């Protein structure tokens, strides 16, 4: 049997064709929008767009008239309602805005409309009525969480924090949920300056979910950066730890707050307890040591490492801690050496050397053994200037661990030793090999730059320029800026004759200074200034007199040389650097008033200097010290 819609089947139509046409016409009339309605919608859209344009150009009253007409025509249209209400608010016609809200509430008194009415009353400065209205908003649906969130969001937008706190606390009671709105209340208490209550909310959160400690730390970050509530938070955490000592999240948060206050000694005590609590055999304490080192709190970092080695000598982390202890003592000593003290303390270099030697003796099969050799070799080279010991240690690295990643760095430092011993041909051979074969591109670039410097020391300025240009082309290389400086030095100071006498003398002085032949370097610079007092190199030569005198710890001569640069060469690129160095030296000698004068002079005479920010920082520190 064929389907009843089969077009091949003949069906008798009892209605007749005329009646069918009439019904079809009626149906079209029912479903097609009338032409005048289409035009009305288009007109409303154009009018709405024109009102928006008026609002954007500040013609609010003209926009309001158009929007009022639109709202009268279509009072249920949400877009017209919202835009008109916003326009009323813009010109502080709060009564008119309230009238709009009341009209909407007549048919649907929702929580959001009650909250909106309260917001407008608050803006109208009728605070008591506003608070009562928010209470009525809550009463619309007091057993729903969304009710309190809706009102809370409105109150936070207005920064009406105490009312927001009251609403959420009421919600917590009404819903009979002590854990409700914890993060919202914690944030509100902080915004209202009630920091102890903030931390109480967060400790309650961590009691149930200790894994959320990172989330809590992120939420507290803004307050902590502004120095707000740290002491109050610490007190709450300390009490909480006494009450619940087995929750590690509390100690992690407490240690973080101590570190934010730069109180690494207190953080160390917390981390020691945390390491024991987690039974990590020093791993947690080692992580803290690295954080303390990043903050240049080497005293605490080394203390932590030594505690690990004493308490967990056989732990898996012990070898790495032993080597890191050497690194930390070395960084600490380097930081002290930069302090421009006339008599540097080498005891920390001695502690670094002892730590490296212990590592190498105790863990000969450790994967980091080659790096330990490199660190000990460069310590002999750069801290003690003991070339024979450095050579022996680096030879052991290059010979016995040639496949190690750091072996190439050992080759680089062997080339440096040849240069320091004045074996320039040997240095050239070693640097050339490294430039051609180094797997690490930065090391190859450094070797090429050193080849350029060797040409410079020998007075081979064309070859030096070629090397400097080639190396400086790779702007991503670590050594690019050094190569640019060498290129600039050559471009600006070649003489009119082919002898380049002044530049050759300067190059010889730089070589002597690098080889730590300070007396020869100073004598050569004196010769240069006596023979070529007006040469463009004169400012650089005086600056080098200062740095060389400083290297031999003659701070008086260094100060005199640095002061001479801006006096004799006020437009020199070394003038601001010389002033800053002079200020540092005066600080180190306890002459704070003179240092302040120098830093102020730098800011006055060289306001665009890259050192201006550093100078301001030093001035702030000096002024705080003077009270």
The pLDDT tens digits for 594-613 are: 999 999 999 999 999 999 99
**579 in a domain, yes or no?**
yes
Q: How far apart are CA 169 and CA 181, in angstroms?
A: 8
**584 in a domain, yes or no?**
yes
Q: Is the Cα torsion angle 237, 239, 245, 247 positive or negative in sign?
A: negative
CB-CB contact of 468 with 462 (8 Å): no
Domain membership of residue 605 as a residue range:
520-626
**551 in a domain, yes or no?**
yes
CATH number, residue 567: 1.25.40.10
Inform me whether the pLDDT recorded for 106 exceeds 60: yes
The pLDDT tens digits for 252-291 are: 999 999 999 999 999 999 999 999 999 989 999 999 999 9
**594 in a domain, yes or no?**
yes
Give residue 40's pLDDT: 78
**The three-state (H, E, C) secondary structure of 182-245, written as one string:** HHHHHHHHHHCCCHHHHHHHHHHHHHHCHHHHHHHHHHHHHHHHCCCCHHHHHHHHHHHHHHCC
Q: How far apart are CA 141 and CA 138, in angstroms?
A: 6
14-37 average pLDDT score: 42
Give residue 342's pLDDT: 56
Q: What domain count does the chain have?
A: 1
How buried is 328 (Cβ within 10 angstroms: 0-12 exposed, 13-18 middle, 19+ buried)? buried
210-227 average pLDDT score: 93
Give residue 5's pLDDT: 33
Put residue 170 in one of left, alpha, beta given phi > 0 → left and psi -120 to 50 → alpha.
alpha
Closest CA to 398 of 407, 390, 389: 407
Inform me whether the pLDDT recorded for 315 exceeds 70: yes
The pLDDT tens digits for 371-394 are: 999 999 999 999 999 999 999 999
**394 in a domain, yes or no?**
no
445-451 average pLDDT score: 96
Inform me whether the pLDDT recorded for 533 exceeds 70: yes
For the chain, what is the mean pLDDT? Answer: 91
**210 in a domain, yes or no?**
no
**418 in a domain, yes or no?**
no
pTM of the model: 0.79
**449 in a domain, yes or no?**
no
Give residue 227's pLDDT: 86
Of 38-42, 136-140, 442-446, 586-590, the least confident: 38-42
């Amino acid at each position: 049997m064929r389907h009843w819609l089969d077009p091949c089947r003949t069906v008798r139509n009892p209605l007749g064709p005329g009646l069918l046409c009439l019904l079809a016409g009626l149906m079209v009339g029912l479903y097609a929008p009338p032409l005048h309605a289409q035009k009305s919608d288009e007109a409303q859209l154009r009018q709405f767009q024109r009102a928006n344009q008026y609002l954007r150009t500040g013609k609010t009253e003209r926009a309001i008239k158009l929007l009022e007409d639109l709202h009268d025509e279509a009072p249920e249209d949400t877009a017209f309602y919202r835009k008109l209400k916003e326009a009323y608010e813009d010109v502080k016609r709060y009564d008119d805005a309230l009238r709009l809200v009341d009209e909407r509430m007549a048919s649907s008194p929702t929580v959001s409309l009650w909250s909106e009415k309260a917001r407008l009353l608050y803006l109208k400065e009728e605070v008591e009525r506003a608070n009562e209205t928010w209470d009525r908003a809550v009463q619309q649906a007091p057993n729903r969480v969304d009710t309190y969130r809706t009102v809370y969001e409105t109150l936070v937008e207005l920064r009406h924090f105490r009312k927001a706190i009251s609403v959420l606390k009421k919600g917590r009671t009404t819903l009979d949920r002590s854990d409700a709105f914890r993060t919202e209340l914690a944030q509100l208490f902080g915004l209202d300056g009630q920091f102890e209550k903030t931390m109480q909310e967060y400790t309650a959160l961590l009691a149930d979910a200790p894994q959320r400690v990172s989330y809590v730390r992120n939420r507290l970050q803004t307050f902590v950066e502004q120095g707000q509530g740290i002491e109050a938070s610490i007190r709450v955490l300390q009490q909480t730890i006494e009450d619940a000592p087995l929750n590690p999240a509390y100690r992690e948060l407490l240690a973080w707050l101590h570190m934010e206050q730069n109180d690494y000694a207190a953080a160390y005590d917390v981390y020691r307890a945390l390491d024991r609590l987690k039974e990590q055999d020093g791993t947690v304490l080692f992580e803290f040591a690295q954080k303390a080192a990043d903050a240049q709190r080497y005293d605490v970092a080394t203390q932590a490492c030594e505690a690990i080695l004493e308490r967990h000598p056989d732990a898996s982390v012990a070898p790495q801690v032993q080597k890191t202890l050497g690194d930390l003592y070395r960084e600490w000593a380097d930081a002290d050496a930069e302090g421009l003290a006339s008599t540097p303390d080498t005891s920390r270099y001695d502690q670094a050397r002892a730590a490296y030697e212990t590592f190498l003796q105790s863990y000969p099969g450790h994967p980091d053994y080659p790096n330990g050799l490199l660190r000990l070799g460069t310590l002999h080279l750069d801290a003690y200037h003991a070339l024979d010991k450095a050579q022996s240690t680096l030879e052991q690295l290059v010979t016995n661990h040639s496949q190690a990643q750091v072996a190439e760095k050992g080759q680089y430092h062997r080339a440096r030793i040849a240069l320091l011993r004045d074996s320039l041909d040997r240095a050239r051979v070693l640097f050339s090999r490294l430039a051609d074969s180094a797997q690490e591109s930065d090391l190859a670039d450094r070797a090429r730059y050193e080849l350029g410097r060797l040409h410079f020391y020998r007075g081979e300025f064309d070859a030096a320029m070629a090397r400097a240009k080639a190396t400086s082309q790779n702007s991503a290389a670590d050594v690019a800026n050094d190569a640019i400086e060498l290129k600039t030095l050559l471009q600006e100071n070649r003489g009119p004759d082919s002898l380049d006498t002044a530049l050759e003398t300067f190059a010889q002085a730089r070589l002597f200074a690098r080889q730590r032949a300070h007396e020869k370097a100073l004598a050569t610079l004196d010769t240069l200034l006596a023979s070529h007092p007006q040469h463009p190199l004169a400012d650089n030569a005086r600056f080098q007199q200062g740095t060389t005198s400083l290297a031999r710890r003659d701070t008086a001569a260094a100060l005199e040389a640095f002061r001479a640069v801006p006096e004799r060469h006020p437009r020199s690129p070394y003038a601001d650097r010389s002033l800053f160095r002079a200020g540092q030296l005066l600080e180190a000698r306890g002459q704070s008033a003179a240092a302040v004068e120098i830093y102020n002079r730098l800011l006055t005479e060289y306001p665009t200097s890259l050192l201006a920010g550093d100078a301001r920082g030093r001035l702030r520190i000096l002024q705080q010290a003077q009270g």
